[in-house]
A and B are shown apart, each in its own frame.
Chain A
Amino acid sequence: MKDINWIDLFNSLFFIYACFLLGIYIFNAVLSILELRKYTSKNKYVDYKSMLSFQKLPSVSVIAPAYNEEKTIIDNIECLLSLLYEDFEIIIVNDGSTDNTLDKIIRHFNLVKVNKAYELEIECSPIKTIYQSKNPAYYNLVVVDKINGGKADSLNAGVNISEKDLFLAIDVDCIIESDAILKMVKPFIDDNKRVVIASGGVIRIANSSKISEGRIVEVKYPRNFWAKFQVLEYFRAFTLGRMAWSKLNGLLIISGAFGLFDRKRVIHAGGYDKDSVGEDLELVVRLRRYMHEVEKKEYRVAFIPDPLCWTEVPESYRVLARQRNRWTRGAIDTIIKHRKMFLNPKYGLIGMMSFPNWVLFEWLGPIIQSIGLIYFVFLLIFGLVNYQVFLTLLIFLLSFSVMYSLFAIFFEAYTFNKYKGVSYLTQAISFIFLEMFIYQPLNMFFSLTGHIDFYFRKEDKNKWGDMTRKGFAKFN
């Protein structure tokens, strides 16, 4: 024991961890290229609208929980009603809003109370009233008024009321592309080897974009400082991250803002976890567990790289901090609940790769990074820093980060090219550099606060936190 050089040992551990992380990023990028090329090549000439006359398609319920959304709810529902699909219903779950959300919907859509019978297949807070419209044009709109219970609880209520094969869980304030359901349903009918249990889609940022009648009419790069960072982050996460995990069938998360699920399987797996603030991640992990433990069938979670859903991201430091804190608490909660899967070969690639990846880089990542930072300060104080090595490692990390982010921007331009113009490109590239010194350290800090809240402030553990939204700019 006497001979151990602790400094060397720590240095090696941090170095190995960083190399491992970088290796995974490179691996993800390569897999994403392959998968994206395959997807675009396969679907270039697909006429999705032809699906409207298909004889055998699963029916879909669009479930949208709403809490104090009076400003935008009518536009949002109008947007959902104009989605293209043959057999679908829209279920708006009013989660005990304290403003005029429900009144506005009732008046605008001419709703009346109905005695709709349903089976309570998964647990949810009591449902007060169910409304349907007297106007035949809104025959597929159902509004559920229930006691406040949170997003997961509202989704559970929607799943209970739903009578369709699949359900699309969305955030009511998101803007969904009109052919979104068609594109999301396709994986469910074009795989005859594996059962598709869910499909996720890409979320893009719509802050500053022009909206008219619940539709995006002009995509604009956000003007807000914080939103600009998040554009880059979403490019990397969706285009390079989730696409790669989807290729491996190891995707563990489908965004809560936009995900299509097999309703029966979700019910059998127990529905959304009401006590989790990361209900989207938790549900996918539990569904996968259910498939491995109960059904034991070949299955997959599909991912559609087309940008089908547009959302408004936090524009202030405080709201961003709350959101990231909540994401961290959600991830920790899910990891602890399903720790059995960690390095468990019974769960195949999920147990051996995806889950350990979450544990090592999502859960432990911020902690290890913080320890690294403290360790570096310690070395500085005691004059143990080899500046030549330090500079080399710093350039190593920075050059990798720049290359990776540039690659994400390139891929976006190469595939879907939603944001356009020289101004966008210049800003996006310059924000790569700013991101490394402002946004990434802050994100690490928000994650750490999430850890602290989870372990030490038990009362804050399951708090959702207020998510103030500015609302999209209207365009007439």
Chain B
Amino acid sequence: MKTLIIYIRYWLLRIFYISLAIFILFGSYYYANPEITIGNYIIHNPLYANLENIPAWLYAVDYFIFIFLVGIVLVFSWILYYNANKRHKEKTNKQYMHLFVTNLFSYLFMVEKFTEKEKKAKLKTLKKALRSDHARRLFINTLRQIHAQTIGPVSDKTLRLMRSVKYDDLIRSYINSPYLRHKIFALKVISDFKLEGFEKRILKLAKRRNNVLRSEAIVTLLNLKVYEDLKFIEKLKTTLTLWDINIIVKTVQELNIKNIDYKSLIISDYPNVSMLGIMLAKFNKQYIFKDLILTRIGDSDGLLNEEAFLALTALAESKDDYKYLVDNFDVATEKAQLEIIRTVANSAEQEEAVKFLNWVVENKHHKQKIEALTKLLDLDLDSINRFKKSENKLIRKSCLQILDINI
């Protein structure tokens, strides 16, 4: 029922705008004619006598003046209304917040037990305050904030409270609402309080083109722990943005999700899904997927290629791994090259590492030179002394820079 009301309001607003546009068009027609006939009704234009003798363009100007004047009155009224409304909202929000925070704190943290009568009285006061959607949203948001800052994982006590204020009606209508802000709110609440029964709808939302909605829906599904292997991301058949990837990785790390189906993600046809798989394999130190990651090196998608290199540097453990990185240094992106320099410098093969770092200083760009020289400062002071006197001005300056900053 609530969903229906939201939809009716949504469509009424649109119908109002369309009617306004039609009214403006119809008005221009009416204004230009002595009378118009609608069915059996004839509506006379009292202003027509004044307009009869003026040129058509001046008539248009007259009509626009009328529209602009109506516009001035409308916008001016809106300004007054919104300002008054905002002030009123700020005032009531303060009152609500005070009521909610005190009640929620006493409910969640107070040690003394209330009698059944007291509990009922408190609940009655709350229910009285929670009549409007706005108040219920505020209440739920306050509860979310208290949880996030103090309690942590959702407790039975909280869920009981949520049920007693009949949250499900609001959330169910919001998740099906045509408004984006409603959907996002519903997803946040479902995610924070691990509410069940909405999974199918959320999965549908995760396929949407709107990236904000999509990433919020994916995070909610992860929080609900219904699709822990993350296979569903591959099946969404959608291109993830860097924003999505960051959010997903962050959530996976926070929830410490381990049983991910890395393979299906890494081999995905969607470069960003593959990138996500590689990133997760890197963070969870999944050495067994190194060969699979290797297949993504040289991918036409620059970011995927870079991520594959970064993962290999993080997962490198044998002589062959380091050799591979050194041999493919030139096809890596700048960021990956810097990471390769750090990785190779920290490897056990000191002699090889020094040789490689010297080669980078002599042949590569400024940023890479600086990184290699910084590492050489720990590994081989002879090289540093040699580069200090180098004939190449950039090498000399780079060397002086790292000496200045590091010593």
- Do chains A and B interact in one complex? yes
On whether the beta carbons of A403 and B68 are closer than 8 Å, the reply is yes
Verify if B86 is at the interface (C-beta below 8 Å from A): yes
The one of B185, B211, B249 in contact with A45, judged by C-beta atoms closer than 8 angstroms, is: B185
Interface string of A394-413 (1 = CB under 8 A from B): 01100110110011011001
CB distance from B69 to the nearest CB of A (A): 6
Within 8 A of A (CB), among B214-267: 216, 239-243, 245-247, 249-250
Once the chains are docked, how many angstroms separate the CA of A188 from the CA of B241? Answer: 10
User: A393 and B241: CB pair below 8 A?
Assistant: no
Chain B residue numbers with a CB within 8 Å of A186 are 243
B279 and A396 within 8 A (CB)? no
B57, CB-defined interface residue at 8 Å: yes
The answer to whether residues A392 and B62 also contact, given A55-B279, A115-B400, A399-B72 and a CB cut-off of 8 A, is: yes
Nearest CB to that of B55 among chain A residues? A389
Say yes or no: A119 contacts B366, CB within 8 Å.
yes
Q: How far is the CA of A86 from the CA of B332 in the complex (A)?
A: 24
Whether A190 and B243, one on each chain, are in contact in the complex, defined by CB atoms closer than 8 angstroms, is yes
B140 nearest CB across to chain A (Å):
13
Shortest beta-carbon distance, B109 to chain A, in Å?
A: 25
Chain B residues contacting A51 (CB-CB under 8 Å) are: 246
Does A57 have its Cβ within 8 Å of any Cβ on chain B?
Answer: yes
Nearest chain A CB to B202 CB, angstrom units: 15
Among the listed A50, A191, A407, which residue makes an inter-chain contact with B241, where contact means beta carbons less than 8 Å apart?
A191
Residues of B with C-beta under 8 A to A417: 86
Please measure, in the bound complex, the distance between the C-alpha atom of A413 and the C-alpha atom of B78, giving whole angstroms.
Answer: 10
With A192-B239, A392-B62, A396-B61 as known contacts, state yes or no: A114 contacts B366, CB within 8 Å.
no
- B210 adjacent to chain A (CB < 8 Å): yes
With a cutoff of 8 Å between Cβ atoms, the chain B residues found around residue A188 in the complex are: 242
Q: Do the beta carbons of A115 and B366 come within 8 Å of each other?
A: no
**Across the interface, which residues of B come within 8 angstroms of A163, CB to CB?**
367
User: What does DSSP make chain A's interface, helix, strand, loop or mixed?
Assistant: helix
Distance between B127 CB and nearest chain A CB, rounded to angstroms = 26
CB-CB under 8 A from A43, the residues of chain B are 212
B242 touches A190 (CB 8 A): yes
Q: Given known contacts A55-B246, A414-B82, A425-B83, is B181 in contact with A44 (CB within 8 Å)?
A: yes
Measured CA separation A58–B62 after assembly (Å): 54
* Residues on the A chain within 8 Å of B129, using CB: none
Q: Which residues of B contact A425 (CB under 8 A)?
A: 79, 83
By a CB distance below 8 angstroms, the chain B residues around A118 are 366
Most-contacted residue by chain A among B179, B272, B370 (CB, 10 A): B370
Q: Nearest A residue to B272 by beta-carbon distance? A: A192
Interface pair B79/A409, CB less than 8 Å apart: yes
Scoring A55, A117, A409 by chain B CB atoms within 10 A of each residue's CB, the highest score goes to: A117
Residues of A within 8 A of B272 (CB): 192
Contact residues, A374-400 vs B (CB, 8 A): 389, 392-393, 395-396, 399-400
A119 touches B394 (CB 8 A): yes
Measured CB to CB, the nearest residue on chain B to A44 is B181
Write out the residue numbers on chain A whose beta carbons fall within 8 Å of the beta carbon of B283.
Answer: 55
Q: Which of B166-199 contact A (CB under 8 A)?
A: 179-181, 184-185, 188
Q: Complex Cα distance A417/B120, Å?
A: 40
Are the CB atoms of B72 and A403 closer together than 8 Å? yes
What separation, in Å, do the CA atoms of A417 and B90 have in the docked complex?
A: 13
Q: Are B366 and A399 in contact, with the CB atoms below 8 A? A: no
Contact A406 to B401, CB < 8 A, known contacts A392-B62, A396-B61: no
> By the criterion CB–CB under 8 Å, are B240 and A189 in contact?
no
CA distance A38 to B219 in the complex (A): 22
Verify if B342 is at the interface (C-beta below 8 Å from A): no
- Chain B residue with Cβ nearest A403: B71
Contact digits for B61-83, partner A, Cβ 8 Å, 1 yes 0 no: 11011001101100110110011
Contact A15 B401 (CB under 8 A): no
With A44-B181, A45-B181 given, is the CB distance from A116 to B79 under 8 Å? no
Q: B58 within 8 Å of A by Cβ?
A: yes
Within 8 A of B (CB), among A35-54: 41-46, 50-51, 53-54
Give the docked Cα–Cα distance between A414 and B405 (Å): 50
Contacting residues, chain A, for B367 (C-beta < 8 A)? 163
- Distance to closest chain A CB from B285 (angstroms): 15
Verify if B290 is at the interface (C-beta below 8 Å from A).
no
Complex CA–CA separation, A231 to B179 (angstroms): 32
The answer to whether A392 and B58 touch across the interface, beta carbons within 8 angstroms, is: yes
Collect the chain A residues with CB atoms within 8 Å of residue B79's CB: 406, 409-410, 413, 425, 429
| Cβ contact of B249, chosen from A55, A115, A116, A400, cutoff 8 A | A55
Interface flag for A108 (CB, 8 Å):
no
A401 to chain B: closest residue by CB? B68
Q: How far is the CB of B87 from chain A (nearest CB, A)?
A: 9
Contact in complex: A399, B65 (CB < 8 Å)? yes
By CB atoms of chain B within 10 A, which of A188, A393, A403, A417 has the most? A403
- A192, B366: Cα distance in complex, Å: 30
Given A54-B246, A406-B72, A425-B79, A117:B370 Cβ within 8 A: yes
Closest to B396 in A: A117
Is B398's CB within 8 Å of the partner chain A? yes
Nearest residue, chain B, Cβ from A113: B404
> Given the complex, which residues of A lie within 8 Å of B75, measured CB to CB?
403, 406-407, 410
- In the complex, whether A470 has a CB less than 8 A from a CB of chain B is no
Please determine whether B61 and A393 come into contact, CB atoms closer than 8 angstroms.
yes
**How far, in whole Å, are A186 and B242 apart by their CA atoms in the complex?**
10
A392 touching B61, Cβ below 8 Å: yes
Residue with the greatest number of chain A CB neighbours at <10 A, chosen from B68, B179, B239, B403: B68
Q: How far is the CA of A46 from the CA of B239 in the complex (A)?
A: 20
Closest to B239 in A: A192
| Beta-carbon contacts under 8 Å, B371-400 to A | 394, 397-398, 400
Say how far B284's CB is from chain A's closest CB, in angstroms: 13
Q: Supply 5 further A-B pairs (C-beta < 8 A) apart from A41-B181, A50-B250, A406-B76.
A: A55-B246, A117-B400, A189-B242, A189-B243, A396-B61
Identify 12 residue pairs between A and B in the complex whose beta-carbon atoms are under 8 Å apart, listed by A's number.
A42-B212, A54-B249, A114-B401, A116-B404, A117-B394, A186-B243, A396-B68, A399-B68, A399-B69, A403-B71, A406-B79, A409-B79
Report, nearest first, the 10 A-B pairs whose CB atoms are least far apart.
A117-B397, A115-B400, A189-B242, A399-B68, A54-B246, A190-B243, A117-B398, A403-B71, A406-B75, A114-B404
**Residues of chain A having any CB pair with chain B under 8 Å:** 15, 41-46, 50-51, 53-57, 114-119, 132, 163, 186, 188-192, 389, 392-393, 395-396, 399-400, 402-403, 406-407, 409-410, 413-414, 417, 422, 425, 429
